[in-house]
Chains A and B, each alone.
Chain A
Amino acid sequence: MPLVSLKNVTKIYANGVTALQSLTRDFEAGSFTVVIGPSGAGKSTLLRTINGLETPSAGEVHVDGQPVTHRDLRSIRAKIGMVFQEFNLVDRLNVMTNVLAGRLAHRHWSWSLGYLFSKSDYEMAHQALDRVGLVDKAWSRADQLSGGQRQRVGIARAICQQPRLILADEPVASLDPGSAVEVMDLLAGICREDGIAVVANLHQLDLTKRYADRVIALRAGRVIYDGKVINMDDATFKEIYESNKDTHGKRHEHTDLVLAHA
């Protein structure tokens, strides 16, 4: 059974924009998937429907065999870490508390009134910080860190959830090339060592080639390529980002071909 499965998922926003069109895909544990495509192709929406930040207009999403519905959102989200382009840390809290936020799904709400966490939560957060190499910054305020460090705190927060899946929404888009490689190395390491699935949105061909086990290309809410990164050359990548409407039909044939290989 796949870890994540999307069946005929369609998302139409209130303003009439169709972000996903009847998308059906599975994601396996232990695999690093990179989603590429021009802005507005539906990459973020794809990620956000998996953890229920967006509700599909039609179709079903299952994570770990559980349907993603409003009722079970807490237990499903507990299994899914998410990393954001803008890090989304709480600036005025220290790094430790930001990482401990990954344990909230397992604690009663009343604990948060006193910012209380259990000893085991602190141990997990400590471990997570050790993994991203920021133990010495544990008591620094989040806004005193550099961009790369802040994204590593974001990843530590995700690790602290002990997730089955990490969703990374353009995790390196606000980082310099050096920090970007650091962050991608971390994500790839977690994916490999812990055997969890990572789904990341990227714009950079070099990083995609270096880290992806599987590439999914989206355009206008449809999958136009799905397969191993090895089968992609620069020309294919360029074509994905070209705004030529005519390619839709052609690429579908090609996609089917690649799928048969994969």
Chain B
Amino acid sequence: MAMNVDFQPLPRKPANFIPIWLCAVCAILYAMSWHLSLSFGDLVSGIGDTGDYISQFFHPDFSLGHKYVWLMIETVCTALWGTAIACIVALVLSPLAASTLTPHPLIYRATREVLNFMRAMPDMLLALMLVSAIGLGPLPGAFALGIHTAGFLGKFYSELLERVPRGRYEALAATGAGFVQTTMIAGYPSILREMAGYTFYIFDRNIRMASVLGLVGAGGIGLELESTLGFFLYNKASAIIIIIFATLFVVDALSSTIRRRLT
């Protein structure tokens, strides 16, 4: 009973601010919904219509299936080329943007800014610009995706290169190897598996993006999706969405298989 008398008293418990932060976040969310005049009442009263809308998607119309599949192949090719462009640009830029590898701090800063700029340019906007510059079709779509996602891949790769133990780079530098040699021998092989993972993620993302790039005339299945929805052909739209979903499912399965094999 008298045990606790001998204990050294605990130091004062540090204040816990998490409840205050949670309240602040809720307040800000409420203020935003009020400012944007979001009405959750409308959402509830619209449930019937939404259900009606969704039910039409349960009867997909595959009468133009072969056309959709062909367009989907074009979409996947656009995404593939976009990813390939992004991958090549990122392979060149990422070692320059890795603090442990870069030949000079100024090059490091400059490359980081270039990558930031690429990420900041939305691919929809790039596609619009490129369509007006080089014409309709999948080519401007591929370039738009390539430029935008090169910014992402460049950042991912450079961060992976920075996580490689510094000693490996030093060991190569100590033999007299230069920047390119150190990157090729000690850099890329060390991050291969993680690199493949990020690249597949970007490929997956590019397929989803390429599926809507058609809206601005950059090829692929997007234009077809838009026009079916525009004409309220929900049965056909449903078929297109199912095809997109199936493609993403296959790509995801493929990427996890390949990543498992790269140990």
Contact = CB atoms under 8 A, between A and B. Distances in A.
A78 B174 CA distance: 8
A77 B175 contact: yes
A interface, size bucket: 20 to 34
A105 B182 CA distance: 11
B174 A82 contact: yes
A101 B167 contact: no
Contacts of B168: 88-90
A4 to B, nearest CB: 15
Contacts of A5: none
A164 interface: no
Interface string A71-112: 001111110111010101111110001000110110101101
A253 B178 CA distance: 45
Interface in B142-179: 165, 167-168, 170-179
Contacts of B180: 109-110, 112-113
Contact of B178 (A74, A93, A157, A161): A74
Interface residues of B, number: 21
A51 interface: yes
Given A75-B176, A92-B190, A93-B189, A112 B167 contact: no
Contact of A86 (B165, B186, B190): B165
B227 interface: no
The DSSP consensus for interface residues of chain B is helix
A93 B168 CA distance: 12
Given A91-B190, A93-B189, A109-B178, A104 B172 contact: yes
Given A84-B171, A93-B185, A113-B184, A105 B165 contact: no
B85 to A, nearest CB: 19
Contacts of A102: 175
B175 A101 contact: yes
Nearest to B180: A109
Contacts of A104: 172, 175-178, 181, 185
A74 B168 CA distance: 17
B192 interface: yes
Contacts of B184: 112-113, 115
A53 interface: yes
A112 B187 CA distance: 12
Nearest to A75: B176
Contact of A53 (B173, B178, B186, B192): B173
Nearest to A100: B185
Nearest to A141: B263
Interface string B124-144: 000000000000000000000
B204 to A, nearest CB: 25
B165 A88 contact: yes
A75 B185 CA distance: 19
B176 A97 contact: no
A88 B175 contact: no
Q: Which 4 A-B pairs have the closest CB atoms?
A: A105-B176, A88-B171, A77-B176, A104-B177
Given A93-B189, A113-B184, 9 more contacts: A88-B170, A88-B171, A89-B168, A90-B186, A97-B185, A104-B185, A109-B179, A112-B177, A157-B175
Interface of A: 51, 53, 73-78, 80-82, 84, 86, 88-93, 97, 101-102, 104-105, 107, 109-110, 112-113, 115, 154, 157, 161
Interface of B: 165, 167-168, 170-181, 184-186, 189-190, 192
